[in-house]
Amino acid sequence: MATVNQTQAPTHQIDSLAIAQLLYKNTAARTLAYWLLGLLAIVLVCFFLPWQQNVHAYGKVTAFSPEDRPQKVYATVPGMINDWYIQEGQFVEEGDTLVTISEIKDEYFDPEILARKRNQIGSQESSIAALFNKIQSLDRQIDALETGLETSIEKARNKISEVQYKLMSDSAEVRAANLNFNTAKKQFEREEQLYEEGLVSLTNLEDKRMKMQESQAKLQAVSNKLQISQNNYLNAILDLTSIEAEYNDKISKSIAEKNSTLSYINDSENKLTKMQIDISNLEIRQQKYVVRAPQSGYVVKSEKNGIGEIIKEGDPLLTIMPDNPQLATELYVSATDLPLLNKGDKVRIRFDGWPALVFSGWPNASLGTFGGKIQVIDYVNNYDNLYRVLVTPDEDGEPWPDKIRMGSGAYGWAMLNDVPVWYEIWRQLNGFPPNIDVSKMTDSKKK
């Protein structure tokens, strides 16, 4: 057995050496090795190529201005649909009639309600005019009473003056009569003494007695006359007071009636104002029975169907897509990537349904993408904790396709700094954020 193995070993070594020589001389293997080395070199070179970092986000096509976005047309009054004047997909001009509705509330069923309301307003205005005439009459009455008061007071004062003069005259007569009476009395007393002494006759004594009695009677008469004058003076003063009280009472009643009339005028004017508001509301309400297009655009969808359907106030009737809107794309960015974005940053966008070959790090090598610029970054996130970013077409780039429809899906990526490919791969593997160019950031974001 040992002899056999020794004889076979050289033959096996010779065969292995021959196979190795054949492999070494094979041109196909050499070509494969060259290709592998070339690919490795290409990969190594690619690792050092520039790669533009980006922040990607999904979104949809919308309009930049709120007035250019799809708009629902609502019923401003409740009612029943009478007629439709449009078809879905139809183009309508601003002010075109879309739908007509009829009233369903019984307080508005009267076809002559506007005419009746106008008649009520006319009656109320006539009533107010009559009240103003009454105010003018009361003003004249108050003026007349005030004039009469002044005249009556002047007459009463004149009468008091007359009575005062008469009182002075009567007082003088009383004093004179009193003086005469005292004189006649003294003469009678002297005559009586002389008569007792026998120096005068009884005739002289009786004559003096008669003169004294006459003076006494005259004194009594003028005293009565003075008392009457005093009573007249007191009555004149009372008349003056009563005249003032009487006229002031009449004037106060007239003023109170005037104030009451003014208050009634205010109430009537408030009622008139309410009537005018009601008729204005009725006129506007009747105009709302015809629903018109708020702006030019295409009827997208009808929210209500048929004839005779009851609608409530605020129910949507249809949707209008405005004509020639300024398109924009709303992208939703996570809170992690939001600090990397600034207003005016460039964005590349791929639209759904539009063929594209995308190299996110090499935007110039991508096909079927379109340029955009960030115009708005929301300050508040939505329920998914994403922030909306509005992107408008880039004026320096290619125009967006004309056939893009509102609501179409979109995928965009905001372009950041240029880095080598190997760095980007290393960053992605480690989950590091992209590099930030601080010079392009706003002051608030720098802080």
Q: Divide the 447 residues of the chain into consecutive groups of 10 and give the mean pLDDT of each group.
A: 43 52 59 80 70 75 90 91 91 92 85 87 91 91 88 85 82 82 79 75 77 81 82 84 87 90 91 91 89 91 88 91 89 83 85 69 63 90 87 87 86 69 64 55 48
What residue has token string 């003028």?
222
- Dist. CA 65–CA 330, nearest whole Å: 12
Q: Which residues contact 354 (CB under 8 A, 6 or more apart)?
A: 368, 401, 404
User: What percent of the chain stands above pLDDT 90?
Assistant: 21
- Dist. CA 382–CA 65, nearest whole Å: 20
Contact 67, 325 (CB under 8 A): no
- Dist. CA 264–CA 355, nearest whole Å: 79
pLDDT at 8: 46
pLDDT at 220: 83
Closest of 307, 408, 252 to residue 102, by C-alpha: 307
What residue has token string 């094979």?
26
With H, G, I as helix, E, B as strand and everything else as coil, classify residue 154: helix
Contact 288, 77 (CB under 8 A): yes
pLDDT at 425: 67
- Dist. CA 432–CA 336, nearest whole Å: 11
pLDDT at 389: 92
- The CATH code belonging to domain 113-287 is 1.10.287.1700
- The CATH code belonging to domain 71-103+289-321 is 2.40.50.100
pLDDT at 53: 59
- Dist. CA 98–CA 291, nearest whole Å: 6
What φ, ψ does residue 278 adopt, rounded to 5°?
-60, -45
**E strand or H helix at 169, and its extent?**
helix 113-197
Other CB atoms within a 10 A radius of the CB of residue 61 amount to 20
The yes-or-no answer to whether 71-103+289-321 and 113-287 have a common fold is no
Could you tell me the residue ranges of all domains in the chain? Answer: 1-47, 53-68+325-446, 71-103+289-321, 113-287
Rounded to 5°, the CA angle 378-380-385 comes to: 105
Q: Is 13 exposed, middle or buried (0-12, 13-18, 19+ CB in 10 A)?
A: exposed
- The CATH code belonging to domain 53-68+325-446 is 2.40.30.170
pLDDT tens digit string along 199-248? 777 777 777 778 878 888 887 888 888 888 888 888 888 888 888 888 88
Alpha carbon of residue 75 to chain centroid: 22
pLDDT at 360: 54
pLDDT at 446: 47
What φ, ψ does residue 417 adopt, rounded to 5°?
-85, 160
